[in-house]
């Protein structure tokens, strides 16, 4: 693990829904500027972990620190201001908006002219709008949607919606980007394109955490991987060591943990 202080640090993070523990006492450190994978079988607690880090859901216990600051109880918009932004497993977009308008919603906090400013200086307002639009168009070019600025969201393909969600998240200028199953439903060409965007963002210094089921995608991108199962962290390390981990293999193959000892024992006995 790098010596750099983690940009994101979870300690003892737990989330209960009634009797169900969706995330159980999880510790997690994410090194700045890296691509970190968060994997695990269905229902392992990955999206809930993102909800907790982004502030969509409150923790039941534990602390979340971002860039040395305790953000555990900050509301979503203050975490976005601090530099945390996420995408959702199912893109959450407004169907009636255009692609450009959608990205501009992410620029909201960067717009310099508030209501009073716009009343007293129409010139400044127009300049500000032009600047925000320029940034939004650059982001659309980055995600390959530059020809679609005026297209209405309802007319977009699934892959385009995923890319648009990335552009909207980037519009907030995050330092930590949480991508929830960003490659799901994409064809191989689109998947490789999105992987390229992620590599480029990380090369520019952004920290990225990926929740993903596509192992090839994870293995090809991540420096480090954390594995959850039934809400608990069962492994953490470089991708190769994690994929060879017995507990991880069992979690993915769905064998009950009580199987582990006899199977290992049997293997030893059979040389």
What does the binding site for ligand ATP look like in residue numbers (CB under 6 A)?
A: 17, 20, 22, 40, 42-48, 89
Residue 154 per-residue DSSP state: G
Cβ neighbourhood burial of 112 (10 Å; 0-12, 13-18, 19+): exposed
Closest distance of CB 256 from ligand ATP, Å? 17
Q: Smaller CB distance to ligand ATP: residue 46 or 107?
A: 46
CA distance 195 to 189: 10
Closest distance of CB 211 from ligand ATP, Å? 7
Q: Smaller CB distance to ligand ATP: residue 67 or 245?
A: 245
Closest distance of CB 172 from ligand ATP, Å? 22
Single out the residue of 208, 233, 234, 235 nearest to residue 221, CA to CA: 208
The answer to whether residues 231 and 45 touch, using CB atoms and an 8 Å cutoff, is: yes
Q: Smaller CB distance to ligand ATP: residue 214 or 245?
A: 214
Q: Smaller CB distance to ligand ATP: residue 89 or 98?
A: 89
Closest distance of CB 191 from ligand ATP, Å? 17
Measured CA to CA in angstroms, residue 81 lies from 112, 172, 173, 175, 179 at distances of 14, 8, 9, 10, 18
- Read out DSSP for 219-233? HHH-SEEEEEETTEE
The answer to whether residues 25 and 11 touch, using CB atoms and an 8 Å cutoff, is: no
- Joined together, the tokens standing for residue 193 give 């394109």
Q: Smaller CB distance to ligand ATP: residue 26 or 104?
A: 26
Q: Smaller CB distance to ligand ATP: residue 129 or 250?
A: 250
Closest distance of CB 42 from ligand ATP, Å? 4
Closest distance of CB 15 from ligand ATP, Å? 8
């Amino acid at each position: 693990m790098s010596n750099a202080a983690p940009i994101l640090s979870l300690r003892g993070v737990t989330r209960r829904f009634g009797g169900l523990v969706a995330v159980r006492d999880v510790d997690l450190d994410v090194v700045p500027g890296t691509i970190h994978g968060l994997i695990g079988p269905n229902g392992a607690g990955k999206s809930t972990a993102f909800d907790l880090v982004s502030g969509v859901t409150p923790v039941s216990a534990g602390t979340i620190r971002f860039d040395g600051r305790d953000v555990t109880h900050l509301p979503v918009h203050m975490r976005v201001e601090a530099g945390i932004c996420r995408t959702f497993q199912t893109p959450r977009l407004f169907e009636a908006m255009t692609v450009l308008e959608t990205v501009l919603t992410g620029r909201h906090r960067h717009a310099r002219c508030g209501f009073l400013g716009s009343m007293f200086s129409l010139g400044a307002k127009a300049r500000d709008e032009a600047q925000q639009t320029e940034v939004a168009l650059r982001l659309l070019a980055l995600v390959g949607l530059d020809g679609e600025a005026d297209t209405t969201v309802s007319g977009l393909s699934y892959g385009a919606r995923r890319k648009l969600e990335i552009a909207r998240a980037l519009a907030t200028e995050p330092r930590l980007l949480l991508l929830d199953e960003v490659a799901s439903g994409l064809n191989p060409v689109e998947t490789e394109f999105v992987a390229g965007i992620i590599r480029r963002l990380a090369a520019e210094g952004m920290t990225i955490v990926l929740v993903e089921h596509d192992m090839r995608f994870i293995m090809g991108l991540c420096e480090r991987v954390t594995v959850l199962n039934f809400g608990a962290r069962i492994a953490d390390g470089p991708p190769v060591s994690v994929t060879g981990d017995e507990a991880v293999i069992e979690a993915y193959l769905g064998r009950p943990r009580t199987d582990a000892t006899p199977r290992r024992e049997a293997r030893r006995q059979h040389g």
